[in-house]
Amino acid sequence: MRLLAGLVGLFLSACAAKTSGPPVGISGKDDGTLTPIGKATLYDFDSLDQRPVSSVAFRGKPSVLVFVTTGDLVGQAQVDYLVRMAANDGERVNYAMVALHPRKELVLVEAYRKTLGVEFPVALAESGATNSSGPFGAIAAVPTVVVLDRDGRISWKHTGLAKNDEIRGHMRGL
């Protein structure tokens, strides 16, 4: 069992990627921090329930979105981190999981949400939402975490596993 836990830890460490390049309208720093400039990011994803996952609904609070697929082990770890963060933050921060699956796989995404104990909104993303012209620039790999300020401007985007303290560090002052 220890060997399995060690291998999973090694796998998660190896899969962590560097922060992706900044989308248009964002100034990047060497530490991966993005400085919002310009307009808010506009997005509206296909929510699994009545809780919208959109720039309008999330305006006014810092927001954390994670883009995942259900078959990715690192994505499961990322969602687990965000489930714990959301339980701690309550209503002070918006959280959302955006599954990169077509609508026909809704049952799979719903089972994933339930199994991982996700209480915050979950949505599906169309393929156009993840390409370079999408609202967050290219989502080249999963998981990808995006932190938005209160005005909906991207303040940080990271591809790969991001731990709670790293995400929180990029939420300070938002």
Q: Which tens digit of pLDDT belongs to each residue from 83-98? A: 999 999 999 999 999 9
Question: Looking at residues 33-62, what average pLDDT do you find?
Answer: 89
Is the pTM of the predicted complex or chain greater than 0.75?
yes
- Provide the sign of the torsion angle of the four alpha carbons 86, 30, 68, 99, taken in this order: positive
- Residue 65: is its pLDDT beyond 60? yes
pLDDT of residue 35: 57
What DSSP string runs through 91-159? Answer: GGSEEEEEE---GGGHHHHHHHHHHHT--S-EEE--GGGGSTTSTTS---SS-EEEEE-TTS-EEEEEE
Alpha-carbon distance 133 to 127, whole Å?
Answer: 11
Question: Looking at residues 67-80, what average pLDDT do you find?
Answer: 97
Q: How many helices (H) and strands (E) does the chain have?
A: 5, 9
pLDDT of residue 10: 37
Is CATH 3.40.30.10 the classification given to domain 2-171? yes
Alpha-carbon distance 80 to 93, whole Å?
Answer: 16
pLDDT of residue 38: 66
pLDDT of residue 6: 42
